[in-house]
């Protein structure tokens, strides 16, 4: 189960919580479409797990995980055969597709099938294929921002109320920034190894100090967005407690001297994203 990287499920839970909270703003009872909300969560979680296994497979067969500092990968460490890991990845992508189809049938918004297909393709080619965009500075961040932020939050809202409101759009931006922060802190940790392996990530391109500053901006910007919600929703102010995880994460990254320190920062980043997403979603719903 460690290969599924369950901690990263925070990136699936947070946007769905935000999207559901945004939908609740215009619903009489926020739980009116709880089945749709759960299906959104299933799609997001299954895609996230599928991406994790797909990355394990693709990076493993290229040898880019040979000296990684974080949790050991199945293929890179030799604990599993590549084809077995690939099969698991495809199974999770398939399950995500099934959940997505059920959601489309319930909503009758058939064009969402195309969105789901694109999401799976984007998930695979992050590290898969001959020219994975995850190795190209900026493209990975853009895709993560779009699909784990804007699309995930706005999509969750849309399937429940048939529209996307300002609460959803801004929530999507916040969730996207946290998702990019997770990717970026990973890349900061692996910067030296990635440069050697030919992975031109944004962290590699920017260098040490600018890369750390970018991480700080990614982590703190969502709390600026939170001001909008505080103005209109009393409970939203409590979401600032998520800074208790965000501030130490930023401090660690700005002062880190070893790659292992980034592992702690990564966990705090995921905790921040989860607390922010679930907290703000609840503030909007109640």
Helices (H), 63-111: 74-77, 82-107
Task: pLDDT band for 137, please (50, 70, 90 cuts).
Answer: confident
Give the pLDDT confidence score for residue 100 in this predicted structure.
Answer: 98
pLDDT at residue 24 greater than cutoff 90: yes
Average pLDDT, the chain: 94
Query: From CA 268, how far away is CA 250, in angstroms rounded?
Result: 9
Rounded average pLDDT over 185-202: 90
Provide the strand spans (E) within 150-191: none
Task: pLDDT band for 143, please (50, 70, 90 cuts).
Answer: very high
Give the pLDDT confidence score for residue 77 in this predicted structure.
Answer: 78
* Dihedral pair phi/psi, residue 200, rounded to 5°: -90, 65
277 within 8 A of 175, measured Cβ to Cβ: yes
- Residue 232 makes CB contacts below 8 A (sequence gap 6+) with none
pLDDT tens sequence across 82-131: 999 999 999 999 999 999 999 999 999 999 999 999 999 999 999 898 88
Give the pLDDT confidence score for residue 68 in this predicted structure.
Answer: 59
pLDDT tens sequence across 195-233: 888 889 999 999 999 999 999 999 999 999 999 999 999
pLDDT at residue 64 greater than cutoff 90: no
Rounded average pLDDT over 235-241: 99
pLDDT at residue 162 greater than cutoff 60: yes
Query: From CA 107, how far away is CA 222, in angstroms rounded?
Result: 30
Rounded average pLDDT over 241-253: 99
Task: pLDDT band for 2, please (50, 70, 90 cuts).
Answer: low
């Amino acid at each position: 189960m460690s290969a599924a990287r369950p901690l990263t499920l925070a990136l699936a839970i947070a946007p769905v919580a935000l999207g559901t909270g945004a939908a609740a703003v215009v619903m009489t009872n926020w739980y009116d479409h709880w089945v749709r909300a759960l299906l959104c969560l299933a799609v997001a979680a299954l895609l996230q797990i599928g991406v994790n296994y797909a990355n394990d497979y693709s990076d493993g067969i290229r040898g880019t995980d040979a000296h990684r500092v974080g949790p050991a990968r199945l293929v890179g460490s030799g604990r599993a055969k590549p084809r077995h890991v690939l099969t698991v990845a495809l199974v999770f992508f398939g399950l995500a597709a099934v959940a997505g189809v059920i959601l489309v049938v319930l909503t009758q918004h058939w064009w969402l099938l195309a969105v789901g297909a694109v999401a799976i393709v984007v998930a695979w080619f992050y590290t898969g294929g001959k020219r994975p965009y995850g190795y190209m500075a900026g493209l990975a961040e853009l895709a993560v921002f779009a699909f784990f932020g804007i699309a995930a939050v706005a999509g969750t809202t849309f399937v429940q109320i048939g529209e996307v409101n300002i609460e959803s759009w801004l929530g999507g931006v916040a969730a996207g920034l946290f998702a990019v922060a997770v990717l970026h802190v990973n890349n900061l940790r692996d910067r030296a190894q990635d440069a050697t392996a030919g992975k031109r990530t944004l962290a590699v391109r920017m260098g040490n100090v600018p890369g750390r500053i970018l991480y700080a901006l990614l982590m703190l910007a969502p709390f600026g967005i939170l001001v909008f919600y505080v103005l209109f929703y009393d409970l939203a102010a409590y979401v600032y407690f998520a800074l208790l995880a965000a501030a130490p994460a930023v401090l660690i990254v700005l002062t880190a001297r070893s790659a292992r320190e980034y592992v702690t920062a990564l966990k705090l980043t995921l905790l921040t994203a989860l607390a922010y997403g679930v907290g703000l979603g609840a503030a909007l719903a109640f």
